[in-house]
Structure formats: structure tokens, C-alpha cells
Structure 1
Amino acid sequence: MEGIAAHHPGYEASDVERWAAEPDKRPGRTAFQRDRARVLHSGALRRLAGKTQVVTPGVTGQLWDASPRTRLTHSLECAQVGRELGAALGCDPDLVEAACLSHDMGHPPFGHNGEQALNDFAKDCGGFEGNAQSLRLLTRLEPKRFVRGGPGGEPVSVGLNLTRAALDAATKYPWARGGHPTDPQSVKFGVYEDDLPVFDWVRQGAEPHRKCFEAQVMDWADDVAYSVHDFEDGLHAGHIDPNLLFSEPEREDIWRVAIGRYVPADTDPAELAEALDRLIDEEWWPHGYDGSAVAQARLKDATSQLIGRFCLAAEGATRERHGSGRLSRYGAELVVPRATRNECAVLKAVAVRYVMQREEQERLRADQRIILAELAEALTARAPSEGLDPQFRALFAAARDDRARKRVIVDQIASLTDAAALSLHARLTVRHR
């Protein structure tokens, strides 16, 4: 087992255990540095460069034509935010960064829209959820480490074989399908039934449903990164007019988006109005954004100010509750003030209202869902002889029943980039419109 005392202050020996024990090839490097390196060098992380973050790039007149944010750039930005916030609170920075880099690995082509399509297809084999798919990638699908544990002693993949603490830190929803602690109808979950053995190992000794401290830092870094950057890109592309944020009818639309989705259903709209007004009243707020070089510089400053504001508020509130010591694993809870959560929620709602709810985006998302549904049907009809990559072809052949074979098809589709999904669909189907 890897050393713990000097290299991993604040962590125990069980935190750096791996599902499959392996020697340390480079003495002096910490277990969490190895985790971070494995995620950085993984094919799953690279493929995020071709996966939609909010809207699909590359269409004339669409957001982010010139330099689109993808799942990869979002993950890199989330990792920078999470690493610094985690370090300020006493977490191992490499551990938090590894979690932030890997948290979106399981997202399929076309973003959350693709999630919906795959969840519909997989409803009779356990459903689909991007976070559960991330755990599946990290522990099973991403080729890195193998053990001889299959029938007959053949090699079986254990994914990246990250430490227990790294896998736990990447687990945003520590429960199975239908196991949400307060909302059994929630579509959010973090593990498929097939992956419960490794999930139970990861969660050894943890209170049910409770996220470890590093996962809470990752979750807040995720919220901060995408709320601020979606707002920034919406302004830059001209989809968000800052003057509209003073209009009462427009504001009411924003509150309707936020309430129940980003803030509790009983939230008073006046709270959200106060949150937006606090931001607008700041000297650095990008008033009168016109796309000029000076305006772009002011917008980037606003982005930095917002990230600092949200992170410092969480750091201060957490330190106020827990003191100045090192915080990690299950020794603390991240505290984010309600006012700060409302400010973050308002930015998310603005991006949804003016970017994602545009009519042309609604039409595009409908087409994308059709493409994935047809692709799933085509693969079901033709697998394993056509359409499956060699890795998934072998898994399909070894699957024990129709349910397991369907899960392999889901795994194959989820692994595709947007462009690869479109290409495979075109090759396997003849569409009549």
C-alpha cells in the first residue's frame, strides 16, 4: 500500500486504497497525483472536447461559433476553480482537481439532451444518468488497468483504478436510481445496479447519501464555473442583452426558470430580484456590453469577480462554521450562503432563458434526440457485427442477457462525440423526412 502520513495529510490509509492493489511505480509521488495524471491522460477526458456543453457549436449564427465551450473546457475551468477552493479549505488539491476533471466524463453526445434520449432508450435496463456513467467509466470502461477476475481467470477491466477518495470525490449523487434521499422521483443518481459492488467499496464507512467534503467542493466549483461562463458566453455572442435584465416582464421569466430548478420551489421571487440587483450594482458589472475590445476586457474582469465572489463566500462561511483547520472527507460540510446560491442561480436562469430556450435551439435538440433514438435502434438491430467499436463488440458478445447487451449499446453511444454520433447514425440508417 502507498505511504500515507507525510504525503497525504488529512487522509487515512483507506482513502488511498485502490479496488485492485498495485505498486507505486514512482516513489515520492502521491496517490492523488497519480489519480490526477490518470484522468488527464484518459481518452474519456479527451473525448469531452467533442461533446456539447450547453448548445452544439459550429452552426452559423449560433452561440460560440468562434471558440465554443465544450465539456472539456468546462471541466478544465471547473478543475481550476475546485483546486484553488479545495486547497484553501485544506483538501488535497490534486484529489479535488481529479474529481473536477472526471465529473462529466460520462456525459453522452449532445449534452443533457443526449442524456434524456439515452434514458428513454435504457428505461428497461436501469436508465441512463451522466454521473452514473462517469463512475462506470472510471471503474470499468476506460482502459487502463486489468485484473484476472473473470470466469476462467480472463482479464477484467477495472477502469482507471483510482483511489477510494478520488472516486468518492467524483460522486455527486451517492445513491442508486430512485434512491434520492428526499425526492424518489428525481432522475439524478450516481450508480447503476451493475456497478453497486465497486460503489459499495467506494462508500465504505460513509453515511448513506452524504457527499464527502471534496465532492461538495467539486459540486460548487461546477455550479460556479458553468453559471458564470454560460452568462459570459451568452453576452459575448449577443444572445443576452444586459438592458433586458432591468425589465420586470423579462425578470419574471427569469424567476420562473430559476424557481424549482435552481432554487427551492417556495423561494420568494423578491429574493432573486435582490440577488440580481446586488450583482448589477457592482462597479465591475458589464453594463452596456457592445463587443468592443474594452467591453470584452470588462466582461472577463466581471467573470473573474464573480468566480472570486462565489468561492470566497463559500470559503468564508465554511471557515466560520468549522474553523481554520484542515477540512477533508467526512469531517466537514461545505457552507454556501443562501444569498450566494441565489446569485449563482440567477446567472444560470439567465443563460437558460436567453440561450437554451431560443426557438432554433429547441428544434435542434428535438432533431438530436431523434438521431440518438434511431442510432440506438440501428445498433440494437445490427450489433455486434456492425456499429460497435472492438471494445464494445467484445463486451456485447460476453453479455449474459438482453438487458446486459442493451447496456453495452448504451455504453457505446455514450462514449461518442457529437460528430461521431452523427457519422455513425448516417452510416447505419437511411432517414426519410
Structure 2
Amino acid sequence: MARAPGTAPYACHPADSRGRLHAEELSTFRSPWQRDRDRIIHSSAFRRLKHKTQVFVEHDGDAWRGDYFRTRLTHTIEVAQVARTIAGVLGLDTDLAEAVALAHDLGHPPFGHTGEDALAALMAPYGGFDHNAQALRIVTRLERHYAGFDGLNLTWETLEGIAKHNGPVAAPYPWALAEVNAAWDLRLDSFASAEAQVAAVADDIAYNHHDLHDGLRAGLFTEADLAELPLVGPAFAEVDRRHPGLDPGRRRHEGLRRVFGAMVEDVIAVAQGRLAAARPANAEAIRAMDGPVIRFSKPLYQNLKAIKGFLFTRMYRAETVMEERASVTAMLNTLFPMLMDDPRLMPAEWQDEMAAALDTTRRARVVLDYVAGMTDRFAISEYGRLTGLRGAAAQP
């Protein structure tokens, strides 16, 4: 039976929060994690997710894009919805789960995972690049709106969740993560709270669902191609049994919503079983466990491996997508050294940051912060402005 949200003994409870790096008075009507959630939603980095993409690159006139494909923002909203649902059923703090979910992709650069791969290669000599670490840098340093501190001054629990929602982090750490951890030990060698683990699994559920949907809409594969896939094929077969002759659009939606529901129900059932067996007394007991308490069952995990393998071949490595990957990688490989060599090409506030950088590594990190914060369309626009190439000619 479901617990009331936030009532489980193993939940993170607001009264037990480790607080904020910079002390603030408690809100009279919001919990610490409600305030974290609200600060994330009102941040500049969150708004920029609107024009950062998952798989398909966004630029004007792109035949592969449209209003129906997911962006980082719509993906993040879907993750937050799933996280609240699962956390609520398990008696966890839904506000903390939502806050971690809303922040989990703030550090993604333009052009999705392709942009991350390109920046990781460019930053290899300077301490590396990781989008989770960059998200921490954004919420602790780069958002500069509050009078008393840089960043959003989020609670320890939300920062912990951003840092290690996917599990313990092994040293050596990316420089941005090491910087935050030095200021406030996030216990990177342990698991995160159950709420953060929920956000991580919600991420998997959301992208497995919507990448199938977006791939179908893009014409990279058809429903017939999915018939032999575990979980997906049976879901469509069930729709056909219950609703014979359903029009294609409704059939697609009904099939994929069943896939979505099966993933959510599996996670809840596994978590309830593990929690009942382990009987963790508090949130610290969750962190001390020898594995995640929130995860898929082994059979479903194997099914998802097959689905991910299909998506990797038919979507992430599709010819048109690979052409886009090559194009935007070349774009970033051009922009980054140009900005390193001539800071005057950046806005005035970033020129000031570069002037204060004392060595090449610090200069590279300033350029990284600037480039990683770009949206897809702004990166393409800046490439065109700085190279003199416009429109179709701006594609390397």
C-alpha cells in the first residue's frame, strides 16, 4: 500500500536537512526543498533548456526538427513528473525528488550528448567535462542573481542528488565536481538518497519512452520495426487486441503509454520489495546500502538493454543523425579555440572572467562555462558570426 508522501522513515525529512552553505532564514510556508525546486525553475540555466536538444539539433529550417520533438526542457518536465509519482507512492519527499529531477540536466551543453562528447575531448587537458559536474557548477557559481551569494545556494541534499543520482562517483573527479566537493563534502563514495535515486530512474523511464516516440515521428523506424522488441512489441499487440482498427496516431500513443506504465510499475514493485526486506531505519541507511534501492527488475533491465541497443543503431547512429553529429562537433571544435585565442569575441562579462584567469587551464574553464551555457541556436549563430558563414553554409 502506498504511503503518504514524505512519511516513510527512510525518506529525507526537511527538519533533518544539512542546510545550505550560506545560512538563510527558513521560509514560513515552503520546505527547504520546495525553495530549491523554485530556485531551479526560476534560474537562467533552466530557461535555456528550452533550446537545448536531446537527439535532433535545433536550428531554423531543420527538416529533422519540429514542435513535437523533445528538448531538454520538455524531457526535464517529464522526468520531474515521473519522479514525483514514484516518490509519492514510496512515501518519499516528493519535493526533493522533483528538485533533483529538475536540475539533473542543467549542465548539458548545446547539441545533446554530441556536444558533451566534443567538450569532453576539448577539455581533456584541463580537467575534463561532465554534465553532472557542470550542473553543480551552475547552481553553486554561475547563476549570479542573489545579493548574498553566487549560485542558488541549494541544500546539501539537492546538491548531493545532482552529484551522484546515478550512484557513487569514483575519483579522480571532474574539476567542477572536485571544486564543489572541496567546499562541502558530498560523500561521493556513497549512494544518494532514495529521492535522488528516484530522479535517476525517472530519467531512464522518460528517455526510453520519448526516444521511441521521437524516433517514430522522425521516420527513423516504424511500429512494424518494433514488433520483435521485448516490452514494446507486446504493448502494441495488447492495444491491437483491445482496440482493433485503431487509427495509427492513437495506436502509437496507446502502445507507448503501456511501455511507460510498465517501467513505472516495475520500479515501484522492486523498490517496495527491497525496502520491505531491508527495512532501512532512516535516509542514512539508504545511503549505506550496498546497491541502489530504486532500480528496475533484472528481467525488465534486460528488456531495456534490447530497446537501447535498437535505439542506438536505428536512432542515435542513424545516418542523418551522424551527419548532424559530425557537423556540430566541427562547429564546437572551431568555436572553442577561437574563443581561447581571442577573448574579445565573447561578451564583456566573459572577457572580464578571462582577464582574471591566471593560466591556460583557468582560461579553458572560462571558455567551457561560456560555451556549455549556449543553446543550440545560439551556438550555431555564434559560429556563423565568428566564421562569416551563414545559413546552410554555416554547417561545417
TM over 0.5: yes
Instruction: Tell me the number of residue pairs that the alignment of Structure 1 and Structure 2 aligns.
Output: 373
> Residue 313 and residue 200 in structure 1: after superposition, are their counterparts in 2 closer, same or farther (change >3 A)?
farther
- Tell me the equivalent position of 1:22: 24
CA contact (8 A) 1:115 1:130 kept: yes
User: 2:285 matched to which residue of 1?
Assistant: 331
Pairing of 1:211-222 with structure 2 (within 5 A): 211-222=192-203
- Change in 2 beyond 3 A, CA 1:144/1:341: farther
Residues 170, 189 of structure 2: 8 Å contact kept = no
2:220 matched to which residue of 1? 239
Distance, in Å, in 1 between the alignment partners of 2:14 and 2:25 is: 18
Q: Higher relative CO (CA 8 A, sep ≥ 6), structure 1 or 2?
A: 2
The letter of the residue matching 1:199 is N
Aligned 8 A contact 2:51 2:58 in 1: no
Pairing 1:423–2:381 present: yes
CA 1:32–1:427 in 2, change beyond 3 Å: closer, same or farther? same
Cα offset, 1:363, TM superposition: 1.5
Structure 1 window deviating more from structure 2 (292-301 vs 92-101): it is 292-301
Two-structure CA RMSD over aligned residues (Å): 3.0
**How far 1:245 moved relative to its partner?**
4.1
2:151 to 159, 179, 185: 159
Mapping of residues 307-346 of structure 1, within 5 Å: 307-323=260-276, 329-332=283-286, 333-346=293-306
Conservation of the 8 A alpha-carbon contact between 1:378 and 1:429: no
* Conserved? CA contact 1:55–1:63, under 8 Å: yes
1:9 shift after superposition: 6.9
Deviates more, 1:302-311 or 1:166-175: 166-175
TM-score (norm 1): 0.77
Question: Are 2:342 and 1:382 aligned?
Answer: yes
Whole-angstrom distance in 2 between the partners of 1:327 and 1:424? 53
The whole-number CA distance in structure 2 between the counterparts of 1:367 and 1:22 is 46
Structure 1 residue 400 displacement after superposition: 2.8
Tell me the alpha carbon deviations over residues 236-272 of structure 1, each in whole angstroms, 9 at most, x when there is no partner. Answer: 332212323457xxxxxxxxxxxxxxxxxxxxxxxxx
- Return the letter of the residue paired with 1:370: A
Identity of aligned residues (%): 31
Structure richer in helix, relative to its length: 2
Query: SS at 1:368's partner residue?
Result: helix
SS at match of 1:316: helix
For 1:202 and 1:86, how far apart are their aligned partners in 2? 26
Alignment of 1:96-175 (within 5 A): 96-145=97-146, 147=148, 157-171=149-163, 172=165
- Residue 332 of structure 2 is aligned to residue 409 of structure 1: no
Matches within 5 A, 1:17-416: 17-24=19-26, 26-57=27-58, 62-145=63-146, 147=148, 157-171=149-163, 172=165, 179=172, 192-200=174-182, 203-204=185-186, 206=187, 208-245=189-226, 276-282=229-235, 294-323=247-276, 329-332=283-286, 333-383=293-343, 385-387=344-346, 389-416=347-374
Give the TM-score normalised by structure 2. Answer: 0.84
- 1:195 Cα deviation after fit: 4.5
Superimposed CA distance per residue, residues 175-217 of structure 1 (whole angstroms, 9 cap, x where no aligned partner) = 66754xxxxxxxxxxx53354353256545x471423322221
